[in-house]
Amino acid sequence: MMPDQQIFDPLPVELMPDPTRTMIRPFLPEDPTGFEQQVPRPQRIAERVAALSDAQVAALCEAMEEPLAARAANPEEVLLDRYRAACRRFDLPATDRARQVVIGGYFAQEYAFESAALFNPSIVRHHDQGGTAPDEARITLSLRGIGEGHISSVTFRTGLWRPGGPLTIDPADRRAVTPRIEEEDGDTIHFSWPPETDASAAVLFPATPSQRQGIEDMRMTTFTDDDGSVRHFATYTAFSGSDARSEMLEMTHLDRFTLRPLTGRCVQNKGMALFPRRIDGRFAMIGRLDNENIWLMYSDDPYRWDKAEIIVRPAFAWDLVQMGNCGSPIELDEGWLLLTHGVGMIRSYSMGAVLLDKADPSKVLARTAEPLLSPSPEESGGYVPNVVYSCGALVEDRTMLLPYAVADRYTAFGTAPVERILAAMG
């Protein structure tokens, strides 16, 4: 951002991709087309392991588990899960626990889930504010990690922020944990993480065909219903490699979650973001159905969206190609503050904002004619050059904390008084 336009004050905190953080993902070799055999390849591999001597099996367990234990929590249980998953698809030999672990090891792969990029952050207040001072807020971040093959997953961080003061991000747990799937009902998955799992250890890796190539750009929302009850939602994009669709995560307990696809005529494209409360008794959502404009949707069901209207169109040089949201709307006394992204020349992504009427968000009260944040010359290079982008910000004490992606590679942070942001609107 040019000095005479600076809205956000940079913080001396960055989150960089880390190739040393790994997780255990499925690996299931199969016969290539034209070379299929009557006995499937995974079954043949399992039968070879079953035929090994006890001494060989013990040596393989020792060689595999010791190094994995430094980088993965409960590696033996993870490998047993890989064995059980293969059993559900193939007729594997019944064998002892040690051989099951080894077979699971042949059906697993260590994967550096954030080796290439760690970006497109979202932020909410942590559900547990115990132990914080009155002027502090414990935060939770979601981030998109990219590893080999451009596969996206979601990872998390926690930290502590004092508006007008420092931001501290807690060190990441070195041992990543993928969720334990408890039930699958069609496209709906119920899962949990082991008790006491640190947020930074939790990794959401693609688990369904719709997510095969990635879980992208999570937008977290703390939702307060009309009766005062609180739910935690997060919309994201599931990418199969050819098709993208919107899905949503709901926290049903502190360590239990549900993933479900969104349905309806308006669930198209990317970047859906849920309002943090009902409007006139209905759920409300921001989206970009046509990949050009910002749309507003209402529904009685947070998982089905059938009606929408355009509320913001491209109007300025920095957003003439397309617009979209940068997270859920933030409720202020003045209205709903919605951070936006715009695409301009050289496919450059910048960030702006609009202010929507609190009672009727279809009414735009003001918007920024110039970007609040644009790629600087120092930040122009990266995984995808000329991009600044966010999936959500947090306002505390009339100060905004904005985590944002730089060049689709790493995450930076800035703060700004709400008054400064509102003053930048026409």
Among the listed residues 271, 147, 152, the one whose alpha carbon sits nearest the alpha carbon of residue 205? 152
pLDDT at residue 64 greater than cutoff 80: yes
What mean pLDDT do residues 318-345 have? Answer: 97
| Cα–Cα distance, 266 to 283 (Å, whole number) | 14
What pLDDT shows up at residue 102? 96
pLDDT at 381: 58
Q: What is the pLDDT of residues 198-220, one digit of tens each?
A: 899 999 999 888 999 999 999 99
Q: What is the mean pLDDT of residues 339-351?
A: 95
pLDDT in tens, 170-189: 999 988 888 888 888 888 99
Pairing type for strands 330-332 and 273-274 reads unpaired
Q: What is the model's pTM?
A: 0.93
DSSP assignments along 195-226, one per residue: TT--GGGBEE---SGGGTTEEEEEEEEEEE-T
Other residues' Cβ atoms within 10 Å of the Cβ of residue 307: 12
- The per-residue pLDDT for range 381-397, each reduced to its tens digit, is 566 788 999 999 999 99
Cα atoms found within 13 Å of the Cα of residue 238, Cβ hemisphere only = 22
In the predicted structure, residue 379 carries a pLDDT above the cut 70: no
pLDDT at 74 over 60: yes
pLDDT at 181: 85
User: What is the per-residue pLDDT for 313?
Assistant: 98
Residue 258 has pLDDT above 50, yes or no: yes
Q: Average pLDDT, stretch 34-45?
A: 96
Task: pLDDT band for 105, please (50, 70, 90 cuts).
Answer: very high
Which pLDDT score, from 0 to 100, does residue 3 have? 34
- pLDDT (0 to 100) of residue 193: 86
Task: Tell whether the model's pLDDT for residue 150 goes beyond 70.
Answer: yes
Asked whether the beta carbons of 195 and 248 are under 8 A apart, the reply is: no
- Average of pLDDT values for 37-60? 96
Give me the pLDDT at residue 2, please: 36
pLDDT (mean) for 289-304: 97
Residue 420 has pLDDT above 50, yes or no: yes
Residue 259: what pLDDT? 95
Averaged pLDDT for residues 137-165? 96
- Return the sign of the alpha-carbon dihedral for residues 395, 398, 401, 404: positive
What's the DSSP call for residue 133?
A: -
How many other C-beta atoms are found inside a 10 Å radius of the C-beta of residue 348? 18
Helix 75-89, helix 97-106: angle, nearest 10: 80
pLDDT band for position 4 (cuts 50, 70, 90): very low
Any residues with CB less than 8 A from the CB of 11 and at least 6 apart, and which?
166, 167, 412, 413, 414, 415
